[in-house]
Structure 1
């Protein structure tokens, strides 16, 4: 599947009338599993990227090069469309433009550019936003950096929980006027907030999380929410599994007595073993 086909698949989701949950992916194994399980979209979150690549919390330590390279590995491993959390674009508007170019080349189906002030300012313990004017400049630069018109670019804001609902709406309307393909919101905690945002805007909406009271997909779809994230449980579960396995081995448990190991057929599917064997026969003349 070509990169454009993946991007068009994401555009179809955004243009539809249903809301879906994406699969949280962060490496070649997780994206293949998500694809095999039938997820229509993968989400490569910033926190998952930071943990998978650096083992660090999500405090803007990861670099664009590291993020793009990990996306490139996933694009090679599977054809699942992936929406990438590109944070603040790794600098000013000019850096945002390059961020778009690099992630496009790495095979991302879409990406988000947010208006959070990153990295965190000295002496300030609460999240801050850049100005609306700077946010608009970043969005314009992102759109200018796009080479493939099918690449999805979402304007993202966390203003609902950082400043106010009114500010979130003003920023969303400004990003919409720039020509983004959709709007990504974090920090929404109540239905009246989403209702107000949906009434004031017209683009597809992606939610970066919401309380259980807003988990009804039909309700979300009626407010133009097309993608609703569910956090990044897969990497958390993988972390626990590795910890428990190594702990058991360290305590003297025999490898044959370990619990929670995958069956051999699952590992074979994840490795695409049958495809590899076919290529070995075709290209190296090896017997089956």
Structure 2
């Protein structure tokens, strides 16, 4: 009932413990709202991801650095409190200079998430799978990560470093950069827009921290299975926009049907049934707490 049964610090501790204690891949689908986060937990995944692109799209904005720390922290907190799973958040470039990255860490700690990643693009950033992006110099990238690490108050809050340099300067430079970001204190690394399993393996063999793979659709890289990524040394995989794309695709087709036929009658078998929604929301739990709230049954 209501929110997560675990305190944020406990989620962070368990997340770090699991990353240290197993070679398995932790699967983090991207949630586009709190209810979808609860569904991710119900389906047996190990964590929840909050994509900056999804937060922006939900606001009707492109992913070009227009969202604010306040907007991202608010949505991330709403999502994190609705599940016992750890929530990893896309913090873009830290929303400013290194000092802003430290503030971002503390704000997201207060929001209850388990960790964040900060990237090395210039401000304003853009989607990592678009052409025309630029990265900062290595010194600036290192300062961002170091500031984020020094800013955290909970040592179990995961600070991940993302680099977009692969698409601009090649794999060798990307490997050198992730090494430097780990030396700066990053707990994990996110090499964006790698082109294949061999590149993931090269990064994973170069550092002794977990490596994240971004399996976003319609991007520059191939879509690999969890088993393939595990064999390449990846420890975390995200599908950042998949649920939003699925939901919006079905919504678009449903609206076409309504516009054409004037009724949703043929769409019912493609909808989540009211009974399933009420089960996911846990109406029964509220009933146990207060019988005046829930005193009816939903017929299928």
So what's the TM-score if we normalise by structure 2? 0.86
- Partner of 1:64 in structure 2? 69
Distance 1:7 1:285, change over 3 A: closer
- C-alpha contact 2:47 2:87 (8 A) present in aligned 1: yes
3-state SS in 2 of match to 1:229? strand
Count of matched residue positions in the alignment of Structure 1 and Structure 2: 280
From 150, 153, 160, give the equivalent of 2:156: 150
- CA apart distance, 1:60: 1.2
So what's the TM-score if we normalise by structure 1? 0.89
- CA apart distance, 1:32: 0.8
- Partner of 1:105 in structure 2? 110
For 2:89 and 2:68, the matched residues in 1 are separated by: 14
Distance 1:287 1:198, change over 3 A: closer
Distance 1:6 1:250, change over 3 A: same
**Which stretch of structure 1 is more off in the superposition, 230-239 or 150-159?**
230-239
- Partner of 1:263 in structure 2? 273
- C-alpha contact 2:200 2:234 (8 A) present in aligned 1: no
- Partner of 1:138 in structure 2? 144
- Partner of 1:207 in structure 2? 213
- C-alpha contact 1:203 1:224 (8 A) present in aligned 2: no
3-state SS in 1 of match to 2:235? strand
- CA apart distance, 1:250: 3.8
- CA apart distance, 1:120: 5.0
- Partner of 2:168 in structure 1? 162
Write the deviation string for residues 78-97 of structure 1: whole angstroms up to 9, x where unpaired: 22211111110111101111
For 2:77 and 2:90, the matched residues in 1 are separated by: 14
- Partner of 1:26 in structure 2? 32
- CA apart distance, 1:64: 0.7
3-state SS in 2 of match to 1:21? strand
From 255, 262, 266, give the equivalent of 1:253: 262
- C-alpha contact 2:29 2:242 (8 A) present in aligned 1: no
- C-alpha contact 1:176 1:182 (8 A) present in aligned 2: yes
- CA apart distance, 1:228: 1.8
For 2:33 and 2:149, the matched residues in 1 are separated by: 27
- CA apart distance, 1:164: 1.8
1:92-131 correspondence runs (5 A): 92-119=97-124, 126-131=132-137
- C-alpha contact 2:50 2:240 (8 A) present in aligned 1: no
For 1:266 and 1:285, the matched residues in 2 are separated by: 18
Q: Which runs of no fewer than 5 residues in structure 2 stay unpaired?
A: 1-5, 216-220
- CA apart distance, 1:287: 6.2
Q: Which runs of no fewer than 5 residues in structure 1 stay unpaired?
A: none
- C-alpha contact 1:206 1:226 (8 A) present in aligned 2: yes
1:35-54 correspondence runs (5 A): 35-52=41-58, 54=59
Q: 2:230 aligned with 1:221, yes or no?
A: yes
For 2:168 and 2:179, the matched residues in 1 are separated by: 17
3-state SS in 2 of match to 1:225? coil
From 79, 93, 116, give the equivalent of 1:88: 93
Distance 1:41 1:117, change over 3 A: same
